[in-house]
Amino acid sequence: MTVKVRIPTPLQKLTEDKAEIEVEACSVAELVEILDEKFKGLKERICEDNGKIRRFINIYVNNEDIRFLENERTKLEDKDEVSIIPAIAGGR
Partner 1 sequence: MFKFSEEQIERYSRQIILPQVGGRGQRKIRQASVLIVGAGGLGSPCAFYLGAAGVGKIGLVDSDEVELSNLSRQILHFSPDVGREKVYSAKEKLNKLNPDVEVVAYSEKVSSENIMSLINDYDIVVDGSDNFPTRYLVNDACVMTNKPLSHGAILQFNGQIFTILPGKGPCYRCLFAEPPPPGEIPNCQQAGVIGAVAGVVGAIQANEVLKIILNQGKLLVGHLLIIDLLGMEFRKVKISKNKDCAMCGDSPSIKNLIDYEQFCGIRR
Residues that bind partner 1 (CB under 8 A): 8-10, 19, 45, 54-58, 60, 63-65, 67-68, 83, 85-92
Closest distance to partner 1 from the beta carbon of 73 (Å): 17
Cβ closest to partner 1, residue 51 vs residue 56: 56
What burial class does residue 25 get, using C-beta atoms within 10 Å of its C-beta: 0-12 exposed, 13-18 middle, 19+ buried? buried
Smallest distance from the beta carbon of 58 to partner 1, in angstroms? 7
Could you count the other beta carbons within 10 Å of the beta carbon of residue 14?
20
Q: Which is nearer to partner 1, 24 or 54 (CB)?
A: 54
Q: Based on CB atoms, which residue is closest to partner 1, 8 or 29?
A: 8
To the nearest 10°, the Cα dihedral for 80, 63, 22, 13?
Answer: -170
Residue 43, classed as helix, strand or coil, is helix
